[in-house]
Structure 1
Amino acid sequence: MAAIQLYCPFCGQKLSIETEALRVQTTCPRCAKSFVPIDAIPRDQTLPAIKVSGVVDAEAPPPPAEAKAPAKKPSSLAGQVDTILLPPNGGPLPIVTGAQRPAAPEPAPKEFAQEPAPTTATNALPAPTAPPVLDGPTLIRTAPPEPTANAPEKADALAATVPVDPPAPEPPAVAPKTLEVTVPAAPSVETTAPAASEDLPQVASDGLAATVTAEPEAPAVIPPPPPKPAPTESAIPAELAACASTLLGSVRVSGSKALGFEHVALVAALAAVLSIVLLVVTNVGALRVLGAFFGTITLAAVLLAGAAFWLVRSRRDASAPPALSQRARLALIGGVVGSLALGSAITGILAATTGGPGELLHANHLPPPKLPPKPELPPEQRADFKLKREGHVFVNGGLLHVPPKFRSDDGAFDLYMHFHGNTNLVEESATSAGLNALVYTVNLGNGSGPYEDKYSVVGVLDQTIEKIQDTAKKQGLRDARVRRVALGSWSAGYGALAKLLDITKNVERIDSVLVLDGIHAAYLDPKAKTVDPVRLSPFLRFAKLASEGKRLFTITHSNIGGTEYASSAESADALLREVGAERAPAQATPPRVTTKTALAAFNKGAQETRLEQTTEGKKGGLHVRGYSGQTPDQHMAHLVQMSVTVLPELAERWKE
């Protein structure tokens, strides 16, 4: 089937069109514009012939062998193949068959050239007719020439009519051509045809020949392709579609099935939903940031994959240039940036409007749900119904005491362990503060050394707690088990706390620490009063937990100084600096205590010694209070008045 090579009139793309589709609207695969191919063919181009099934008249008998035309040099187009001349007005392509061609007269012999031959009624030939007018495309069929001596000349004439690609810049002038139509002639019976005129020369052939002189035609010239125009707005989607088609073309899933952009969009949409759900339901800052980040990325991926899927489906273009043009690159970058901006806006709006369940509850100012009060159990059903509360019980180097108002319904109890201080004073202070816990007091003598030596052994805290728990069971507490633990110290008792807080396992079990004028450390530089951070490191780790609200760490200190080691005030200042807390002036006087042991603890004449607060620093669960005074009685006042300074904070924290 013949095909025509032509160029797209819009972008110059070279195309191959079948002859049967010359008048069918065609879409250029490059610029995606439609046109009729025959309108894009130059008027001076010669097209290959369309093979025609029609033949010459079958009823016409072959000419007699004795009737031959005089020999004459055949025309230059005598052996040319079938040719179609395009009409100038773009009309239909008529096909001239044997039945439609006018019959040419039989040439007469030379001796009868001057007289008209008589004709009969039965075998009369039609009179010579005028040459056919070539108004439109005409199919000219010629019989194959017989081998003659002038075959090279015919070959040259045939080559002159074949289109050449690329064409010569200046085609040479061509002489007028003679077009021949040859059909089998009817047998001549006693007839003579009139002599042909000078305008209609005759050609030797097996039949009659009708010769028509046509206007000279220039050789068929195919113009060079026009320069490629700059990409227009309609060509940019075609370029993007071609790049999108090749982006995932090499990826194969399940053998031969290609991964498509619709699959990418579906997976990205699922990931976006999960990210948004994580952003909405969580209150954790890191998880919300993670959800917002992945939500933005996945939403942008959904938009980009959807756009690529639409481009590939709507513009199937396999001939787009491999490299994107400048405008196409700018369009691609703009699409990516716009998708990211839209995804970021969506996740930002969701983050601002949701804020997690906890934030929503706080924003709506909803009160916390009220738990129904526990039903009051009768005394005989409580776990402490048979618990002995009088006296002290010696346990692992300390004394265990059950306050009179201690209560446990199920056997669980809190434990306050105090190091260094009058046992009765500590017990009365806990009772006065309303602390619902068992009280364990340890006194190992003066100085912090004995406390450091005993409690530097790993596991001593767990051993002591287990023995206290077993003792409570023996004292009558049913199902006795320790729930929360608090450590307290006064003066030299800080040595036990320094060793116990230096063990990570102990820190995980200890809930609160109370220090009464007792944290001391060595100097790194005595002149600069720089406190040794290594000696403070156990207290510093617990202070950081307290500043975050995870623990309770309350400290009181006096202004006693002038020693070779850091005072309790200097140690407290170092802790505040490390956690980023600051002191503020404070003027407060704790209430006076009136318990029997507290009044007897002071020297005679010093019963009216009371703490006078001057500064205060607080951050989270870390609370530091500074008091004036440098005398021993003022140092003792921190222990005596613990029931109105540090123990109420612990009782409030442990209140159920």
Structure 2
Amino acid sequence: MRRFVTACLLLVAALEAGAQGAPPAPVTVPPAAQNPSPMDESTRAHARLSARELGGQQRAVAGPAGRTVELWIGHRTRKRGHYALVIHFHGAAWLAQQAVADLRDGTVAAVINLGAGSGAYDRAFADPAVFDSLLAAIDRDVSQVLGVSTQADHITLTGFSAGHGAIRRILREPRHRDRVQAVLLLDGMHTSYIPEGRVLALGGSIDSTNLTAFADFARRAMRREKRFLVTHTEIFPGTFVSTTETADWLLHAVGLRRAPVLAWGPRGTQRLSEVRAGRFTVQGYAGNSGPDHTDQYHAMPELLRQLLK
């Protein structure tokens, strides 16, 4: 018995010694999120527009969440009872105003910046009355400049990156969706994974709550009742759904499939895919870096003309 106990003690000691000397189990480190990729690349031109004098009048109007709406009213805006309006969300005001000025048809531009993240834009328009108040404030200011009572009768909403958050919230309200004639999303249609942060490759799914209003608008554009243009890059954020994945979801929801293309886009961008149906268009562009993302905003003049032509 004494020998048996001694043998057991020796065995335990040996096992403990072996465990202490064993190499630690390898730790799997999850890949870093790309938001966008930090890669420095020079494949594409990344040409940038420069601000220029537009003439007309620059105005400041009180907007949602205590922010200022930067309004531009050009010389071509006619003194009559109605006018066309482009409301842009997120990005330097001069660029969006310049894109509207290039239409050369008297369209008025209003630019709103509400901070970082689509949530800030979404929350600002959670109450449908906020959009009503915004339109009323713009109408009052345009009427004052023109010297006649006038009202926006053709409304286009454009959003770069996080700015899509305002548009998705506005379009959820049926009467606002009826009033908006056209939408342009520039590399900015995101949503969350379910569960939060779990990408599709690891079994996650797409939270479509923020996308259903876009699907409805796309169907109406396919029937030529509206105009809708969506662009996206190849950026994979990792922590939330990419614009490529949301575009794929949207196309599946409306029964369309993209086709591969090789074509030049504005400012040296490279278009890799496209699908058109009625007045609904989705275009995919090369690139997963920060400059590729910014390229989409600097392409706004050409893309806005394409949307409204």
TM bucket by the smaller chain?
0.7 to 0.9
Report the Cα distance in structure 2 between the residues aligned to 1:577 and 1:393, rounded to whole angstroms. Answer: 41
Residue 629 (structure 1) aligned with residue 287 (structure 2): yes
Residue aligning to 1:648: 305
Would the aligned equivalents of 2:58 and 2:70 in 1 still touch at CA under 8 Å? no
Specify the code of the residue in structure 1 equivalent to 2:261.
A
SS at match of 1:629: coil
Residue aligning to 1:474: 144
Residue aligning to 1:429: 99
Q: Please, which of 221, 225, 232 is the counterpart of residue 546 of structure 1?
A: 221
Residue 393 (structure 1) aligned with residue 64 (structure 2): no
Deviation, structure 1 residue 399 = 1.3
Q: CA RMSD in A?
A: 1.7
Residue aligning to 1:310: none
Residue 568 (structure 1) aligned with residue 249 (structure 2): no
Q: How many residues align?
A: 246
Residue aligning to 2:135: 465
Unaligned runs of 5+ in 1: 1-387, 593-609
Would the aligned equivalents of 1:488 and 1:514 in 2 still touch at CA under 8 Å? yes
Report the Cα distance in structure 1 between the residues aligned to 2:296 and 2:79, rounded to whole angstroms. Answer: 34
Would the aligned equivalents of 1:590 and 1:611 in 2 still touch at CA under 8 Å? yes
Would the aligned equivalents of 2:60 and 2:71 in 1 still touch at CA under 8 Å? yes
Greater shift, 428-437 or 625-634, is seen at 428-437
Query: For 1:576-619, what per-residue CA distance to the aligned partner results, in whole angstroms no more than 9, with x for missing partners?
Result: 11111111112221243xxxxxxxxxxxxxxxxx3110000111
Residue 620 (structure 1) aligned with residue 291 (structure 2): no
Query: For 1:151-190, what per-residue CA distance to the aligned partner results, in whole angstroms no more than 9, with x for missing partners?
Result: xxxxxxxxxxxxxxxxxxxxxxxxxxxxxxxxxxxxxxxx
SS at match of 1:489: strand
Unaligned runs of 5+ in 2: 1-54
TM-score of the aligned structures, taking structure 2 as reference length: 0.75
Deviation, structure 1 residue 560 = 0.2
TM-score of the aligned structures, taking structure 1 as reference length: 0.36
Report the Cα distance in structure 1 between the residues aligned to 2:242 and 2:294, rounded to whole angstroms. Answer: 16
Query: For 1:503-547, what per-residue CA distance to the aligned partner results, in whole angstroms no more than 9, with x for missing partners?
Result: 111101111111000000112363245322222112111112112
Specify the code of the residue in structure 2 equivalent to 1:395.
A
Q: Please, which of 183, 205, 216 is the counterpart of residue 530 of structure 1?
A: 205
Would the aligned equivalents of 2:73 and 2:142 in 1 still touch at CA under 8 Å? no
Report the Cα distance in structure 2 between the residues aligned to 1:649 and 1:616, rounded to whole angstroms. Answer: 14
SS at match of 1:446: coil
Deviation, structure 1 residue 403 = 2.6
SS at match of 2:245: helix
SS at match of 1:392: strand
Q: Please, which of 296, 302, 306 is the counterpart of residue 638 of structure 1?
A: 296
Would the aligned equivalents of 1:529 and 1:566 in 2 still touch at CA under 8 Å? no
Residue 437 to residue 650, structure 1, CA distance change in 2 (3 Å): farther
Matches of residues 236-275 of structure 1 in structure 2 within 5 Å? none
Report the Cα distance in structure 2 between the residues aligned to 1:487 and 1:623, rounded to whole angstroms. Answer: 15
Query: For 1:118-150, what per-residue CA distance to the aligned partner results, in whole angstroms no more than 9, with x for missing partners?
Result: xxxxxxxxxxxxxxxxxxxxxxxxxxxxxxxxx
Residue aligning to 1:199: none
Whose helix fraction is larger, Structure 1's or Structure 2's? Answer: 2
Q: With CA pairs under 8 Å and 6+ residues apart, which has the higher RCO, 1 or 2?
A: 2
Specify the code of the residue in structure 2 equivalent to 1:640.
H
Residue aligning to 2:191: 521
Would the aligned equivalents of 1:547 and 1:579 in 2 still touch at CA under 8 Å? no
Deviation, structure 1 residue 626 = 0.2
Would the aligned equivalents of 2:224 and 2:278 in 1 still touch at CA under 8 Å? yes
Report the Cα distance in structure 1 between the residues aligned to 2:79 and 2:263, rounded to whole angstroms. Answer: 38
Report the Cα distance in structure 2 between the residues aligned to 1:395 and 1:438, rounded to whole angstroms. Answer: 16
Would the aligned equivalents of 1:501 and 1:538 in 2 still touch at CA under 8 Å? yes
Query: For 1:302-343, what per-residue CA distance to the aligned partner results, in whole angstroms no more than 9, with x for missing partners?
Result: xxxxxxxxxxxxxxxxxxxxxxxxxxxxxxxxxxxxxxxxxx
Report the Cα distance in structure 1 between the residues aligned to 2:308 and 2:230, rounded to whole angstroms. Answer: 16
Report the Cα distance in structure 1 between the residues aligned to 2:218 and 2:130, rounded to whole angstroms. Answer: 23
Displaced runs of 4+ in structure 1, greater than 6 A? none
Deviation, structure 1 residue 393 = 2.7
Report the Cα distance in structure 2 between the residues aligned to 1:422 and 1:462, rounded to whole angstroms. Answer: 24
Residue aligning to 2:115: 445
Percent identity reads 27
Specify the code of the residue in structure 1 equivalent to 2:60.
V
Residue aligning to 2:177: 507
Report the Cα distance in structure 1 between the residues aligned to 2:168 and 2:308, rounded to whole angstroms. Answer: 23
Whose strand fraction is larger, Structure 1's or Structure 2's? Answer: 2
Residue 417 to residue 562, structure 1, CA distance change in 2 (3 Å): closer
Report the Cα distance in structure 2 between the residues aligned to 1:560 and 1:414, rounded to whole angstroms. Answer: 33
SS at match of 1:617: strand
Report the Cα distance in structure 1 between the residues aligned to 2:203 and 2:228, rounded to whole angstroms. Answer: 27
